[in-house]
Amino acid sequence: MARHLAFVLAFSGASVAFCAQAEPLDTLESLGKALFFDENLSLNRTQSCATCHNPEIGFADPNGAASLGDDGVSLGDRSAPTASYAAFTPDFHRNDEGAWIGGMFWDGRASSLEDQAGGPPLNPSEMGMPDKPSVMARLQENPGYVAAFDSLFVEGILQRPEEGYSAMTQAIGAFERTGVFAPFDSKYDRFLRGEVELTNQEELGRLLFFSQQFTNCNLCHQLHTSAIHPQETFSNYEFHNIGVPVNADLRAENGANEMDKGLFNNPQVDATGEIGKFKVPTLRNVAVTGPYMHNGVFEDLRTVVLFYNRYNSRSEARQINPETGKVFGMPEVPQTLAVKELTHGPALDDKRIDALVAFMKTLTDARYEHLLD
Ligand code: HEC
Ligand code: HEC
Is residue 373 very low, low, confident or very high in pLDDT (cuts 50, 70, 90)?
confident
Q: Which residues contact 191 (CB under 8 A, 6 or more apart)?
A: 197, 198, 362
With beta carbons less than 8 A apart as the criterion, state whether 226 and 277 touch. Answer: no
Q: What is the pLDDT of residue 18?
A: 52
Residue 281, ligand 2, Cβ within 6 A: yes
Residue 59 Cβ < 6 Å to ligand 2 = no
Question: Is 66 in contact with 249 (CB distance < 8 Å)?
Answer: no
Q: Which of 328, 284, 336 is nearest to 303 (CA)?
A: 328
Question: Is residue 247 very low, low, confident or very high in pLDDT (cuts 50, 70, 90)?
Answer: very high
Q: Which residue has the least CA distance to atom 37 on ligand 1? A: 49
- The response to whether residue 222 sits with its C-beta less than 6 Å from ligand 2 reads no
| Chain Cα centroid distance, residue 157 | 31
CB 33 within 8 A of CB 181: no
Q: In angstroms, what is the span from residue 278 Cα to ligand 2's centroid? A: 10
Give buried/exposed letters for 109-147 (b at 16+ CB in 10 A, else e). Answer: bbbbbbbbbbebbbeebbbbbeebeebbebbeebebbbb
Nearest ligand to the CA atom of 42: 1
- Residue 268 burial (CB < 10 Å; 0-12/13-18/19+)? middle
| Cβ of residue 221 lying under 6 Å from some atom of ligand 2 | yes
Closest by CA position to 94, among listed 103, 85, 86, 82:
103
pLDDT reading at 2 higher than 60: no
Q: How far apart are CA 328 and CA 310, in angstroms?
A: 9
Give the percent of the chain with pLDDT over 70: 94
Q: Is the minimum distance from the CB of 277 to ligand 2 under 6 angstroms?
A: no
pLDDT per position as a tens digit, 186-221: 999 999 999 999 999 999 999 999 998 899 899 999
| Whether the Cβ atoms of residue 78 and residue 104 lie closer than 8 Å to each other | no
More reliable by pLDDT, 70 or 175: 175
Q: Which of 373, 370, 368 is closest to 85 using CA atoms?
A: 368
192: number of Cβ within 10 Å:
16
Q: Is the CB of 284 under 6 A from ligand 2?
A: no
Asked whether the beta carbons of 63 and 72 are under 8 A apart, the reply is no
* pLDDT tens digits for range 109-137: 999 999 999 999 999 989 999 999 999 99
What does the pLDDT read at residue 15?
Answer: 41
Residues contacting 272, CB < 8 A, separation 6+: 264
Average pLDDT, the chain: 92
Task: State the number of CA atoms in the 13 A half-sphere of 43 facing the CB.
Answer: 15
Identity of the amino acid at 47: Q
Residue nearest to atom 10 of ligand 1 (CA): 80
280-313 confidence digits (pLDDT tens): 999 999 999 999 999 999 999 999 999 999 999 9
How far does CA 276 lie from the centroid of its chain?
18
The tens digit of pLDDT for each residue in 303-342 reads 999 999 999 998 999 999 999 999 999 999 999 999 999 9
Residues 336, 334: Cα–Cα separation, whole Å = 6
> Max Cα separation, the chain?
72
Ligand 2 in reach of 217 Cβ (< 6 A): yes
User: What pLDDT digit, counting tens, does each position of 59-101 carry?
Assistant: 999 877 888 898 888 888 899 999 999 999 999 999 999 999 9
Does residue 5 carry a pLDDT above 70?
no
Ligand (nearest to CA of 32): 1
CA atoms of 240 and 341, how far apart (whole Å): 10
pLDDT confidence band for 17 (50 / 70 / 90): very low
CA of 308 to the centre of ligand 2 (A): 8
